[in-house]
Structure 1
Amino acid sequence: MKELFNDAIYQPLYNALTFLISIVPFGDVGMAVILLTIVVKVLILPLSNKALISQVRMREIEPEVRKLKEKYGDNREELAKRTLELYREKKINPFSGCLPLLIQLPILMGLYFVFFKESGAVINPDLLYSFIHVPDPVTYHFLGLIDISQKSLILALLAGFAQYIHTKMSLQAPAPRSGDGKVSFSDEFARSMHIQMKYVFPIMITGIAFITSGVIALYFIVSSVFAIAHELVMKRTRTT
């Protein structure tokens, strides 16, 4: 499995990054990281679209799902039956977004590991294809300002902030508490997960970005900004 991952995902991405370093001005690794992240995101865009459309459609029927929970909250079997009927009526498969996300995961992991290995390391000629040459020069001073081979608090904070904006945009609001004070376990769990995803995940991204390197932080920033732009475009498309 490790060899398959290396041959099919890691090595092609490593060579792509090396090639981009050789063609960007001054061998700027930061610019190459941005370009490769955007290229990969564009290539997997059809999968991302399917996952995002599924999320948006689920969000659109959330008010109706809440009404069902209020009406059949004490009868789990009836609630499940009515919810499935609603999904069928709206022609929504609640799991349709899972497969595209699972397919994307190894690709995005490969991208992360390439950038992690590239953080301050000398390019390994043994991993390069015969038609890819070791670039010269190679500089880790992104735009001549920030050494992304080292930890960067500024980039780490930007990565966390960008992730927070994306998470806030993509999460659907939890169900409001009812007037009688009764809260179902599922609603309370959803509320707890909403808070954790909204605040804890961006903090985790900030921490990972800081303890690794500026390369990883830059990757997180570009990924989040691309995801934000993608979601804005999809929302505008659905409302026109």
Structure 2
Amino acid sequence: MISAIFHTVLYKPLYNGLLFLTDVLPFNDVGFAIILLTLVVRFIIFPLSHRSIVTQKKMKEIEPEISKVKKKIKDKQQQAQEIMRLYREHGISPFSGFLMILVQLPIFIALFMLLRQGVLIEEGLFYSFVDIPEKINFIFLGLIDLSKASYVLSALAAASQFFQMKLTIPKIKKTESKERSFKNELQKSMSVQMKYVMPVFIFFIAQRFSSGMALYWTTSNVFAIVHEMVVARKAKKLKEKNDGNGRKKDKN
């Protein structure tokens, strides 16, 4: 039942979308089709991803307030209630990131199944209005064979993952020896592992499958990086504007 829904709702539409783009694009280059399909998917889930990024930025902004609450209120239940009050006050949904993962995971699995061995022609999966491409050109830009693993694309996937995580994962502030705790050290350790170990993991995983998967991963990461930078720039301008208005009020 779940498998049938997965194939009908995700795998089949993505499969037909990829083959349709391959058929209509010049030179039937499946590489450009993968890039375009990835961008289409990213734009479809854009409202959720944007909300998740904005929530992360807001949570980072109220970290000083949360720290004050934790120092002031020692009772865990009251502490949690006060933090939730802060979230509501600033319009933060702490579950938006989790929702984003729930949406992205099945899409990633569908694309993984589609691209892991290259693109296979399965006539039973085609929609009636989608033509079967006469040929599929796996040589992306005339240089990289997307039906095989590629060190270049694997490296790009790993590098883009590193920069994306560098923007996403907040910097852990250095604390004095007296303020250090197991929780702070664990948080710092996990941050380092996510930032440096994950890209290496992505590289070796990409080397095990066709490079179409690495191209998808790279495109998705580049989109996320640009999105993060735009949101950060807007947030910075808004903060500068609010700070400027605050100074004007103080003078008056």
- The two structures share one fold, judged by TM-score above 0.5: yes
Once residues 115 and 89 of structure 1 are traced to their aligned partners in structure 2, the CA distance between those partners, rounded to angstroms, is 44
Once residues 69 and 140 of structure 2 are traced to their aligned partners in structure 1, the CA distance between those partners, rounded to angstroms, is 53
Tell whether the 8 Å contact from 1:47 to 1:104 is kept in structure 2 after alignment: no
Listed one character per residue, the Cα deviations across residues 171-223 of structure 1 (whole Å, up to 9, x for unaligned) are 1122432341531x332332122111111111111111111121111111101
Over the aligned positions, Cα root-mean-square deviation in angstroms equals 2.0
DSSP 3-state at the match of 2:96: coil
- Displacement of 1:52 in angstroms is 1.2
- Displacement of 1:82 in angstroms is 4.0
Listed one character per residue, the Cα deviations across residues 48-70 of structure 1 (whole Å, up to 9, x for unaligned) are 1111111111111123333444x
Query: When the two structures are aligned, how many residues end up with a matched partner?
Result: 236
Asked whether 1:107 is paired with 2:107, we answer yes
Tell whether the 8 Å contact from 1:151 to 1:211 is kept in structure 2 after alignment: yes
2:175 to 166, 177, 191: 177
**Which residue is equivalent to 2:242?**
none
Tell whether the 8 Å contact from 1:54 to 1:94 is kept in structure 2 after alignment: yes
Q: Tell which structure's C-alpha radius of gyration is larger.
A: 2
The amino acid of 2:3's aligned partner reads K
Listed one character per residue, the Cα deviations across residues 127-166 of structure 1 (whole Å, up to 9, x for unaligned) are 1112212112211100111111111111101110000000
- Equivalences for residues 26-37 of structure 1 within 5 A: 26-37=27-38
Once residues 182 and 12 of structure 1 are traced to their aligned partners in structure 2, the CA distance between those partners, rounded to angstroms, is 51
Asked whether 1:225 is paired with 2:226, we answer no
Distance 1:141 1:192, change over 3 A: same
Listed one character per residue, the Cα deviations across residues 10-63 of structure 1 (whole Å, up to 9, x for unaligned) are 001000000000011111111110110011111111111111111111111123
Asked whether 1:61 is paired with 2:62, we answer yes
Tell whether the 8 Å contact from 2:115 to 2:210 is kept in structure 1 after alignment: no
- Displacement of 1:170 in angstroms is 0.5
The amino acid of 1:91's aligned partner reads G
**Which residue is equivalent to 2:127?**
129
Tell whether the 8 Å contact from 1:30 to 1:215 is kept in structure 2 after alignment: yes
| Structure 1: gaps spanning 5 or more residues | none
The amino acid of 1:26's aligned partner reads F
